[in-house]
Chains A and B, each alone.
Chain A
Amino acid sequence: MKIKDGFVMRRFGDKWIAVATDELADSHNVLITLNRTAAAMWELLSDESDYNTVLAGLLTRFDAEETQVREDLDRTLEMLRKAGVLDEQH
């Protein structure tokens, strides 16, 4: 799975905002607001990856219990799926 190509992201204080560009903007004319953890997940999913690899990447970045990180990852993945920005074809 990976984030669909065609987003640009910028940090705004303690949030990150992703905006669709080019053809993707036709169907995704919304802003995606991400906190620090979700922004890290977004970055880890900018290339094709799998759940366990993303989880491992987050665990090296954040000093938190694995249970908590899994919950955050699951919640963020669900948000990204609902927003239609996750490509899970591969």
Chain B
Amino acid sequence: MSVYTFADVHVRLPSLSPFAMHFFQEYRADSDHFDEELTITQEDLAAEAILAPLAPREVLEITVVLRKFANRLLMRYDGFMLHAATVVYGGKAYAFAAPSGTGKTTHCRLWLDVLGDDARILNGDKLLLRKQGDRFFAYGNPWNGKEGYGERGCYPLGGVFLLHRATENTVSPTTSSEALAALLSASAVSKSGADRLQILALLDCLIQHVGVRNVYANMTHDAVYTVLRELEDSL
């Protein structure tokens, strides 16, 4: 058993396959102190296999850990996982949420093209967020998607964008209902009433205090400039 640190929570995990140990390696904790302990049962793996029937056991281990940790984050640490690609710019994290295949990671790569070393990709696929007061903090984590874009780090969340593919680049406001529906879907929270009440409370705070906007983007550099202008206008 080893301890890992995800989103500033020290988690003890059971013995893992070599593949999974390697996957989590960068997030090994410095000490054996832990805040949470997760188990991985055959039932967990079987339930995960229903969602990904072709995935080998070692990959299922990784996704079971994510699912269970995300649930602990929600129920005990005012946090949640968001299916979003996230860039860091000017010391803040900006998350781009969208269904798979929309081009989240492609859009974030454009930020690197346009801004060079002034921007980084914190995570290309799954963002971990925690609320402290009215602020949210974005955490790098090992679940960073098939392209492997991401790094360790924690940054204040500067904004959330709902990404849509379009021919013209524009940013527009969302209604709270629109933002809530999109983020609820992107958070992949379980169907339990307790989980859903908790995520609604967190999303309410995020929508009010961080802000959620639509960005319609055509995957050119101009898409990045469009978002940057929006960020400058809102400062």
Contact = CB atoms under 8 A, between A and B. Distances in A.
Interface string B181-205: 1001100000111001100110010
A29 B185 CA distance: 9
A8 B177 contact: no
Majority SS of interface residues in chain B?
helix
B196 A8 contact: yes
Contact of A22 (B176, B180, B192, B197): B192
A26 B197 CA distance: 17
A31 B204 contact: no
Given A12-B176, A12-B180, A30-B181, A21 B193 contact: yes
A10 B204 contact: yes
B177 A31 contact: yes
A21 B191 contact: yes
Given A12-B180, A30-B181, A31-B177, A19 B192 contact: no
Nearest to A22: B191
Interface string A22-61: 1101100111010000000000000000000000000000
B177 A19 contact: no
A26 B40 CA distance: 25
Given A17-B200, A19-B200, A8 B180 contact: no
Interface of B: 176-177, 180-181, 184-185, 191-193, 196-197, 200-201, 204, 207
